[in-house]
């Protein structure tokens, strides 16, 4: 077993299926396993699968992701300590919520949260923000106490703990109207305040020493929108940064990753 990158989304009834991407090919050539978690909230198993993971049932998306993590480890598909996760947009919510569990965070070597939806409560409580009222069907309306309590209990930003988190790669886009950059910046700031030493002026990834209780965090911003850069060169540079982050986080040398 070698390193593994597990992808997750789980919202809006969208189906996340394996497809050809250059960054996937680069990881496969280096011995990585690629996996996709079809959690409730997505549409991989039909409309009922989506209905079972939205609004007051949103916690099921996170529980399913936790089960997927444990399945990969139990089956020996991934080596212990070499499991990495990636969640983009609403998938960042699912992954971010999972990381707030001490037990689950301990199983993960690194995580990429790409233009993630992290501050769900603030977003859903402000009907003046773009798209907010259209999102009530997915996340719930905080005007209703039971919806507010459910969103608060799951929101990645609201529930950052003091436990050890894996290496984190956070990306945001300054022209993003769906998951505004301020969400990611707020999340990074709270992470820094809750866990002293987690982020420093030097945000480069580095392996922690035995005397350091926490891993490193990388915050990457761009001038693009929610879908990322439109030109191939900029997209390739971002892919390269993420792949480099994964290898550095796991302590994989270029020679070892190619073997």
d(CA 58, CA 147): 11
Look at strands 167-173 and 217-222 and give their pairing.
parallel
d(CA 143, CA 80): 43
Largest CA distance in the chain: 55
Q: Residue 250, class by beta-carbon neighbours within 10 Å (0-12 exposed, 13-18 middle, 19+ buried)? A: buried
Query: Annotated catalytic residue: which of 61, 88, 89, 222?
Result: 89
| Annotation marks residue 176 as catalytic | yes
| Annotation marks residue 89 as catalytic | yes
Query: Annotated catalytic residue: which of 141, 176, 214, 222?
Result: 176
Q: How far apart are the first and last CA of the chain?
A: 13
| Annotation marks residue 253 as catalytic | no
Q: Residue 209, class by beta-carbon neighbours within 10 Å (0-12 exposed, 13-18 middle, 19+ buried)? A: exposed
Collect all residues with Cβ–Cβ distance below 8 Å to 21 and sequence separation of at least 6. none
Query: Annotated catalytic residue: which of 163, 226, 234, 244?
Result: 226
H or E stretch at 222: strand 217-222
Q: Catalytic positions, please?
A: 89, 176, 226
């Amino acid at each position: 077993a070698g390193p593994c990158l597990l992808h997750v989304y789980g919202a809006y009834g969208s189906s996340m299926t394996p497809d050809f991407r250059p960054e996937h090919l680069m990881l496969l050539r280096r011995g990585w396993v690629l996996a996709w978690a079809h959690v409730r909230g997505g549409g991989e198993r039909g409309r009922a699968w989506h209905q079972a993971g939205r609004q007051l049932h949103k916690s099921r998306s996170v529980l399913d992701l936790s089960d997927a993590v444990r399945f990969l480890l139990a089956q020996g598909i991934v080596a212990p300590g070499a499991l990495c996760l990636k969640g983009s947009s609403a998938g960042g919510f699912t992954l971010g919520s999972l990381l707030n569990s001490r037990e689950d965070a301990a199983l993960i070597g690194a995580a990429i949260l790409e233009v993630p939806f992290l501050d769900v409560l603030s977003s859903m409580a402000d009907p003046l923000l773009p798209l907010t009222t259209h999102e009530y069907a997915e996340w719930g309306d905080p005007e209703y106490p039971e919806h507010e309590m459910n969103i608060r209990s799951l929101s990645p930003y609201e529930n950052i703990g003091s436990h050890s988190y894996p290496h984190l790669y956070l990306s945001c886009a300054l022209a993003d109207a769906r998951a505004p950059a301020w969400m990611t910046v707020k999340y990074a700031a709270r992470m820094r305040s809750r866990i002293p030493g987690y982020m420093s002026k030097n945000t480069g990834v580095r392996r922690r020493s035995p005397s350091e209780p926490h891993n490193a965090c990388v915050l990457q911003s761009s001038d693009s929108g929610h879908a990322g850069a439109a030109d191939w060169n900029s997209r390739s540079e971002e892919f390269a940064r993420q792949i480099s982050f994964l290898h550095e986080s796991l302590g994989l040398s270029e020679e070892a990753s190619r073997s």
